[in-house]
Amino acid sequence: MSSRRLIEAGQFTTRPAAPPAAPPVAGTTCRRDVVSLLHLLYLAPGRAADTQCVAMTVRRQRCPYPLSHQAWDLGQWAIIPVPPAHRRGHLTEHLTGTPMAVYDLTHLPYPAQLRWRTQRCPLHTSSSAGDVALTAWEPFDAFVHHQHITPAPPHDRPAAGERPC
């Protein structure tokens, strides 16, 4: 009740609303890589190699480093068949078995794969720093994420019509 009186008196104002996000341009897509990690498929928040660490720095900000900044810690592109969807009678049945490019991390040692899954850079692997953000991995579902299935590995440069996530 006192908040309402302060608002009506003009002594207390709410924060201004955030400006609306720009709508995506027609024909553009957001590149999100499908990643094979711990023998499961995940959808990365964007390019897998650019996924950012979620740990908090000493200055209480998000760590600016990617999960890997060493050549030995990067994934390899592999072509695998699209796994069957768990939903019968849906459109993904025709996708099952078709080739799909996957950023494969299963060749890394188990601790390195766990570090990727918890979205920590090598500097914050064993630190007790808290997380500033939630991990952004989504379990891959061919029915839901069919627009991110590509038959060939993408190039490092953005393709025409591709925007950052």
Q: Which structure tokens are listed for 73?
A: 């810690």
Burial class (CB in 10 A: 0-12, 13-18, 19+), 9: exposed
- 1: in domain: no
In a domain, residue 114? The reply is yes
Residue 130 lies in a domain: yes
Among candidate residues 6, 42, 21, 19, the one with its CA nearest the CA of residue 145: 42
At 95, list the tokens. Answer: 């996708």
Q: For the chain, what is the domain count?
A: 1
Within-domain flag for 110: yes
Per-residue CA distances from 139 to 49, 52, 97, 101 (Å): 18, 18, 19, 16
- pLDDT score, position 35: 95
Query: Could you list the residue range(s) of the whole structural domain that residue 51 is in?
Result: 33-156
CA-to-CA distance for 148 and 30, rounded, in angstroms?
9
In a domain, 70, yes or no: yes
**72-125 pLDDT, tens per residue?**
678 899 999 988 766 655 555 667 778 999 999 999 999 989 999 999 988 888
Whether 143 maps to a domain, the answer reads yes
Q: Is the pLDDT of residue 26 over 80?
A: no
Q: Which residue has the tokens 């920590």?
A: 120
Q: Flag whether pLDDT at 156 surpasses 90.
A: no
pLDDT in tens, 30-83: 789 999 999 999 999 999 888 999 998 888 899 998 887 676 678 899 999 988
Close Cβ partners of 73 (under 8 Å, ≥ 6 residues apart): 67, 108, 112, 122
Ramachandran class of 42: left when φ > 0, alpha when ψ lies in -120 to 50, beta otherwise: beta
Amino acid letter for position 36: S
Q: In angstroms, rounded to a whole number, what is the distance separating the alpha carbons of residues 13 and 18?
A: 15
